[in-house]
């Protein structure tokens, strides 16, 4: 049982490593085709992984408290840390107006968060996605929840096409398309080792690489761009299934697995800090995308390791205690 759990944690960290490396690459590599490729799957992957690891909790208050500790407290702490750097980076005079404007923007969250804190929308969106899905799953029948998820996805596309600029505080509107990823991964996780499903998904991934040059299938969830209705959803989920299989396969290659899973174990810290590093590098003349990507990834990994080594910092900034390295998927604690 212990060996089974160790292997399980290893492939989860490997998949998170693939995901967070893709996130950093998508934000630093300016080549259009490369960025589009990562935007096919990198954020849907984390919502799907969270659903895959999800265990329903009938104690709604306890689950809410866990989500606050693991997600919202680190979110608030990093916003506080980045407040002054963001204010200085804005280039505007520091006065009551500029400070109050930044406070309002940070409180609104979601799409209002840009540059240094740009990726933070994901944290609040994941929090609400987990809470809503947990409530629905423990209170409603599966058939009803499935219908709700279909309605949510349709509503998300309506938001995209009819009112793309309508963006709710804390990225709550993005939950409309995040919840279906979460719920689908939860419902069909028993098909983990289905080779036919993996083969079909891999074929879809290969086809999507060719298709992305001609069709707008990529996801930009933060900015209510969900690609082609249904088609982009299928493509993104196919990437999750395929990369999940890749992550499992890497556990058989210790050297590669150790490197990738190490980044995955630090995915929360890397997510919170990589934009600050890579944007600062760019502003100081480091315009080579690959150099900026490598420095940002390695530097934020080192910072995250330092944070993790301190009990209080790990709790406040990563939402974890020492040894628990899955803050973006808090349900794993009870898995």
Tell me the per-residue pLDDT of 182-200, one tens digit each, with 9 for 90 and over: 999 999 998 877 899 999 9
Tell me the per-residue pLDDT of 278-329, one tens digit each, with 9 for 90 and over: 999 999 999 999 999 999 999 999 999 999 999 999 999 999 865 455 555 5
Cβ-proximal residues to 326 (8 Å cutoff; 6+ apart), any chain: 9, 12, 13, 16, 53, 320, 332, 333
pLDDT score of 329? 54
Give the mean pLDDT of 152-181.
Answer: 95
pLDDT score of 335? 30
Residue 331 — very low, low, confident or very high, per pLDDT cuts 50/70/90? very low
d(CA 214, CA 149): 29
DSSP conformational letter for 225: B
Q: With CA atoms as reference, report the closest residue to 80 among 110, 126, 111, 116.
A: 116
Q: Write down the domain spans for the chain.
A: 2-334
Lookup: tokens for 7:
């292997």
Q: How far is CA 258 from CA 45, 250, 254, 264, 269, in A?
A: 20, 9, 6, 10, 18
Tell me the per-residue pLDDT of 60-69, one tens digit each, with 9 for 90 and over: 999 999 999 9
Residue 254 — very low, low, confident or very high, per pLDDT cuts 50/70/90? confident
pLDDT score of 330? 44
Q: How big is the chain by its Cα radius of gyration, in Å?
A: 19
pLDDT score of 5? 45
Max distance between CA atoms of the chain, in angstroms, equals 61
SS3 253: coil
pLDDT score of 327? 53
Tell whether pTM > 0.85.
yes
pLDDT score of 259? 93
pLDDT score of 324? 52
Residue 310: left (phi > 0), alpha (psi -120 to 50), or beta?
Answer: beta
Q: Is 136's pLDDT higher than 50?
A: yes
Give the mean pLDDT of 231-251.
Answer: 95
pLDDT score of 205? 96
Cα 79 to the chain's mean position, in Å? 17
Tell me the per-residue pLDDT of 113-126, one tens digit each, with 9 for 90 and over: 999 999 999 999 99
**What percentage of the chain reaches a pLDDT higher than 90?**
80
């Amino acid at each position: 049982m212990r060996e089974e759990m160790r292997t399980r944690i290893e492939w989860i960290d490997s998949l998170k490593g693939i995901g967070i490396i893709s996130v950093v690459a998508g934000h630093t590599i300016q080549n259009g085709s490369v960025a589009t490729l990562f935007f096919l799957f990198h954020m849907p992957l984390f919502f799907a992984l969270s659903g895959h690891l999800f265990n329903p909790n009938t104690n709604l208050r306890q689950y809410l408290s866990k989500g606050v500790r693991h997600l919202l407290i680190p979110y608030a702490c990093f916003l506080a840390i980045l407040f002054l750097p963001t204010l200085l980076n804005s280039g505007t005079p520091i006065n009551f107006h500029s400070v109050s404007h930044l406070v309002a923007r940070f409180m609104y969250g979601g799409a209002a968060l840009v540059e240094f804190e740009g990726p933070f929308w994901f944290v609040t969106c994941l929090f609400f996605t987990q809470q809503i899905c947990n409530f629905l799953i423990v209170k409603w029948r599966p058939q009803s929840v499935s219908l709700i998820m279909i309605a949510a996805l349709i509503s998300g596309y309506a938001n995209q096409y009819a009112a793309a600029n309508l963006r709710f505080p804390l990225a709550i509107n993005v939950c409309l398309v995040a919840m279906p990823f979460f719920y689908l991964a939860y419902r069909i996780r028993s098909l983990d080792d289905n080779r036919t499903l993996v083969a079909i998904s891999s074929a879809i991934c290969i086809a999507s690489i060719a298709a992305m040059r001609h069709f707008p299938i990529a996801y930009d969830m933060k900015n209510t761009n969900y690609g082609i209705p249904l088609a982009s959803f299928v493509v993104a989920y196919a990437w999750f299934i395929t990369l999940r299989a890749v992550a499992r396969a890497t556990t058989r290659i210790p050297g590669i697995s150790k490197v990738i899973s190490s980044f995955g174990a630090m995915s929360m810290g890397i997510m919170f800090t990589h934009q600050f590093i890579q944007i600062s590098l760019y502003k100081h003349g480091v315009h080579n995308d690959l150099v900026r990507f490598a420095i940002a990834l390695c530097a934020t990994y080192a910072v995250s390791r330092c944070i993790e080594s301190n009990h209080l910092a790990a709790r406040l900034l990563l939402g974890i205690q020492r040894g628990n390295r899955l803050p973006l998927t808090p349900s794993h604690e009870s898995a």
